[in-house]
Chains A and B, each alone.
Chain A
Amino acid sequence: MNQKTILFITLGALLIMFGGAAYWYNTQQVAEKTALANDNSSSLEKFHAPRLGSPSAKVTIVEFMDPACEACSAFHEAVKSTMKQYQGKVKLVIRYAPFHPGSDKAVEILEAARKLGKFNDVLDLMYGTQHGWASHHNPQPELIWQYLAYYKFDVAALKKNIDSTATAKLIAIDLADAKTLGANKTPTFFVNGKPLPSFGYKQFQKLVADEVAAAYHP
């Protein structure tokens, strides 16, 4: 056999093996994560977690998020538009996974806003101004107050509702659940207990669409 033929056959075989192994490994990982979420369904949702959307919705998106995480911010619009698209059919459960040092302070502000019924607005503001207070993975949550004041939020009321001890407890529970479910990156999504097959908007939209179809048009 010609030497070049040998080379191309070998190279082709190696690449096919690589692709096949990668596919097999990914399938295996998704199956494992799904099984993990099924076995630990109590870790997905907790009574204390903030919820958005209709409570009677049959499709539940659980998002482990960090207010200082750039990918979470980038994903936020997609999540909102998906919620709008399937209004009444999809609800969002937010779990805190503040992996960035210091972003637990941002979670404290979110929790205070939640008591005042402003959770959504403050979350939007945090993601929208993230480049200002959390650039280069270096969150400075104290800067959030300036943005809140600038956008005419009731800073005094928010400050009054900050409860560091209670928030720390919530975060500890959420982080423990994230660990149980193998959610070590943010954002991590589970749609009716199913993880994304791979990370991306399209995969997210497809998974939600599939779950809505399965729940409402069986």
Chain B
Amino acid sequence: MTAQKIDTVWLLLFIAWLIAIASTLTSLFFSEIMHLEPCVLCWYQRICIFPLSMILLVGLFPLDKSVFKYALPLAMLGLGFTIYHIALFYGFIPEGLKPCTQGIPCDDDSMILFGFLPIPLLSLAAFSAIIGLLLAAKSRLNT
């Protein structure tokens, strides 16, 4: 394998890590600084994104080719929760199926930032990008 190819793979993984750590810090900002209580579904997504920022970091130094094996399942699971959350947020899922009507609602208006950007959409962008980058890096390694 050429050194250049390794560099590309490293860079792709690095960007994936960057997204994971930025998402982690953003979610901590929401809860610790802005004091927005995370709802149940937000917690499930956090459970997936927090370890990704560590796993990807460990996989980068030195570049570990088995990092995909550990990172992809978490990212996929996170994406699953996010899609469910978005379906709930936009009302695609009927009332009766809501898992979190008590306590902090998952479809509250407080989840909309700056008046137009719902937090679940940020989460969707982050998980999709991480999965895309991981798959791109993986296919590059295999060719």
Contacts and interface: CB of A to CB of B under 8 A. Distances in A.
B61 A14 contact: no
B60 A18 contact: no
A14 B21 contact: yes
Contacts, number: 27
Contacts of B25: 14, 17-18
Nearest to B32: A22
Contacts of B18: 10
A3 B60 contact: yes
B106 to A, nearest CB: 21
Give chain A's interface secondary structure class.
helix
Contacts of B60: 3, 7
Nearest to A185: B35
Contact of B61 (A7, A17, A26): A7
Chain B contact patch, size range: 10 to 19
Contact of B14 (A6, A17, A21): A6
A26 B33 contact: yes
Contacts of A6: 14
Interface in B1-31: 10, 14, 18, 21-22, 25, 28-29
A11 B28 CA distance: 15
B94 to A, nearest CB: 32
A10 B22 CA distance: 10
B21 A18 contact: no
Contacts of B14: 3, 6-7
A21 B61 contact: no
Contact of A22 (B21, B22, B29, B61): B29
Interface string B102-113: 000000000000
Interface in B31-66: 33-34, 57, 60-61
Given A7-B57, A7-B61, 8 more contacts: A3-B10, A3-B60, A4-B61, A7-B14, A22-B29, A22-B33, A25-B29, A26-B33
Interface of B: 10, 14, 18, 21-22, 25, 28-29, 33-34, 57, 60-61
5 smallest beta-carbon distances between A and B, as pairs = A22-B33, A18-B25, A25-B33, A14-B25, A14-B21
Interface of A: 3-4, 6-7, 10-11, 14, 17-18, 21-22, 25-26
7 contacts: A3-B60, A7-B14, A14-B21, A18-B25, A18-B29, A21-B29, A21-B33
